Structure 1
């Protein structure tokens, strides 16, 4: 019985993500989620207290791979530049294989105005930024970047680059290879700021 409950809960989360992707956050309703899942709203509310509880679960689902991707990038036997490229490559490959999940990136700013979701949204956003910045700081410590490089600014640039390419990909109907475009743009940036001989 418990596995069926978890299965239904996960399906409701995935359907919610799909609906946000199709209709936007403004078009999302518990009635439509229940209709798509062919259950009553009462069934939905047995799994989630309310719509915000469901959105909190969506945010958890969205963020659950971040730590694994970061740890893989950080502890992989690669130089810091390769670790950054690996992190972005793995993330964008995941998004390319699950395009609907990228809708969540686009609604983070809207959801942060909800008092019940604000803390969770900010944690997700700043944790991702922290991951990237830690990889950049590691590169600086190991001598791959000049001493005067602002690691936080570079982290901001990488994070912004990724978000903008994802938005462009969505706006253009996902017509170009997301991973390829993002990694190519990132490679151009990293080639400019990394010291070629680098490393201590």
Structure 2
């Protein structure tokens, strides 16, 4: 392994390790017995794949524009479910981290986004598994590297925590903030803050708190 590749893998492992920790915390926030609950994470993946295809466009009989930002957001959602599936395998976090870092770096070099997406969905449907190489292909074709995945993942994870803390599960959460959906507010805040800061998640949560409509 070249020194450059080794450095890239090392950085990837650090980011993935952080995301695995955050995913475990988020799942535990929803249910402290999430590992034993039998949630169908694989089903969430293929459903998100179908939704993403609509944002990308697949209808040959009409003109469609690719909504890159929305496709990227769907990829981040899928990664949440993919991390959860890997955590359910029983492997230790170090092995999961190492495997994901290599798979996300490699991909398969698929050049057709729709085929790459179908590979991702197929693995979820037929093997009930998360195909990280297929996700890497989708990311590459949407100009999304691991740094961008990390930035958007931390953002969405923080919003998910915020939602839970403000009544999402009970149905009292307010999703429209002064005329904008919370996802839109999140995107603005993530771009304004320094994603490389050690306390990025804490800063983002505080910014969300300041923007949230008060009853």
Q: Normalising by structure 1, report the TM-score.
A: 0.32
Question: Computing the radius of gyration over CA atoms, which structure comes out larger, 1 or 2?
Answer: 1
- Structure ranking higher in helix proportion: 1
